[in-house]
Amino acid sequence: MPKKVLADVVVIGGGPAGMAAALGARESGAKIVFLLERGDELGGILNQCIHAGFGVQRFGEELTGPEYAGIYKDRLASSSIEVMTSTLVCEVNRDGYVKAVNRSGIWEISARSVVMAMGCRERTRDMIRIPGTRPSGVFTAGLVQYMVNVDGLLPGKEAVILGSGDIGLIVARRLELEGVRVNAVVEIRDSLSGLVRNYVQCLLDFNIPMLFSHTVTGIRGEDRVEAVKISKVDNSWRPIKGASQWMECDCLLLSVGLIPENELTQRLGIPICPESGGPYIDEKGTTEIPHIFACGNVSSVFDLVDYVSIISERTGSAAALKNPPAPVSFILECGGGVGLVVPQRIRERGEGDIFVRPATALRDGNIRFQRGERIIYEKPISICRPSEMIRIPSRGIEWPHETGKVKIEIDGEPVQGI
């Protein structure tokens, strides 16, 4: 028979979001909290991020990924939260009923609230449609990071990395340190996708060439990657005829974006926001089903884990409460220059933070929130990039009495290169 248990809160996913949400729920009075993780230990992607740079916002000091995760693991260990690792959730239904599988059998957990914290996955070669052969040696960058840092295995001897996102940049440096030559980092945009500090510390310091406005348009090698075709692209990212060359390498690493992993959410019929790739949520992470919450990268891919922790603790707290949420007051919409905004719904004015991801890199501009004709928030920005979210405390916004749609816009001068 399946093991049937009752819970106040079930958290799906034991990465940074899930760990913080479980603790948040417990601290806000949820008595029985389950934290379900598919991997064999908690921590999620933090476990493979052995570089420093985590925790400045949350803990005021610079930590490595495992150290940052360690703080939460310790807190969980001394809490009464039921942690189940190597446990995969197969089904969730709208009543808060969660079906999970592990070596001890099938678990049916009936919960008052469910927190979705499944994180994200990497975009693959086929999603960006790179033609060519299908040899060994084409990997997503995050997988390579795991292979190298956890399994101690190298993906190749000479690499080309597509995408200048942070994972790509950090993996480039890691490979150089292990004696794997990185021939180039190739970026289709005309500006950096990752953080400038990562560009400096990971590429410049290791003399790794960076090619802007280029992409990979072919893969050669029947068995193992032998070379990749690198093409210059025009303003609309189309390869320019005649402007391509083959670059030899034995592996191609892809750092071409992350996708919130929302298959479980979608099966519940919860609508997904096309910009963020996650469910529409309010400032507490409530989805369109009041007792189902989402936090961390499953709601939108964040740039800093610190933000994920801060938000997720709040979401966990909200999931612990029994009272139904207030009605939605405002719907936030992306206007010009805005790639995404999260949360997209505001119920209570002045609570939590709003995160805005710029669509492109801009300098000397403004970010503006508008309710109808009325500007309810405006702030100059010296520079903004898609890689860095703009964090706006909700209490700094002059929320009007009149509810409705709020449009967010960013303007400024385009930035090219770094």
Binding interface with another protein (CB under 8 A): 1-2, 38-39, 86, 88, 90, 99, 101-106, 121-122, 124-127, 129, 131-137, 140, 142-143, 146-148, 150-157, 178-180, 217-220, 222-224, 250-251, 263, 266
CA–CA gap between residue 212 and residue 3 (Å, rounded): 54
Measured from the CB atom, the residue of 7 and 180 that comes closer to another protein is 180
CA–CA gap between residue 270 and residue 289 (Å, rounded): 7
Could you tell me if residue 195 is left (phi over 0), alpha (psi between -120 and 50 degrees) or otherwise beta?
A: beta
Shortest gap between Cβ of 129 and another protein (angstroms)? 7
CA–CA gap between residue 408 and residue 338 (Å, rounded): 7
CA–CA gap between residue 260 and residue 118 (Å, rounded): 8
Query: What are the C-alpha distances in Å from 344 to residues 74, 214, 285, 287, 362?
Result: 33, 34, 10, 10, 23
Buried b (16+ CB within 10 A) or exposed e, 346-369: bbebeebbbbbbbebbbeebebbb
CA–CA gap between residue 126 and residue 18 (Å, rounded): 29
Measured from the CB atom, the residue of 150 and 375 that comes closer to another protein is 150
Whose CA is closest to 283, among 295, 271, 270? 295
Q: Note the residue count of the chain.
A: 418
Shortest gap between Cβ of 106 and another protein (angstroms)? 5
Measured from the CB atom, the residue of 133 and 366 that comes closer to another protein is 133
Measured from the CB atom, the residue of 149 and 198 that comes closer to another protein is 149
Give me the residues paired with residue 357 across strands.
Answer: 340
Shortest gap between Cβ of 157 and another protein (angstroms)? 5
Q: Cβ distance 281 to 311 under 8 Å? A: no
Measured from the CB atom, the residue of 241 and 401 that comes closer to another protein is 241
Measured from the CB atom, the residue of 3 and 379 that comes closer to another protein is 3
Measured from the CB atom, the residue of 25 and 180 that comes closer to another protein is 180
Shortest gap between Cβ of 11 and another protein (angstroms)? 17
CA–CA gap between residue 159 and residue 163 (Å, rounded): 13
Measured from the CB atom, the residue of 56 and 127 that comes closer to another protein is 127
CA atoms within 13 A on the CB side of 155: 34
Shortest gap between Cβ of 224 and another protein (angstroms)? 5
Shortest gap between Cβ of 254 and another protein (angstroms)? 10
Shortest gap between Cβ of 247 and another protein (angstroms)? 17
Rg (CA), the chain: 22
Shortest gap between Cβ of 191 and another protein (angstroms)? 25
Residue 83 in 3-state DSSP?
strand
Measured from the CB atom, the residue of 57 and 93 that comes closer to another protein is 93
Measured from the CB atom, the residue of 129 and 401 that comes closer to another protein is 129
Structure tokens at 36: 């379900």
CA atoms within 13 A on the CB side of 153: 8
Tell me phi and psi for residue 213, to 5 degrees: 55, 35
Shortest gap between Cβ of 289 and another protein (angstroms)? 20
Shortest gap between Cβ of 156 and another protein (angstroms)? 5
Residue entry with tokens 């230990």: 41
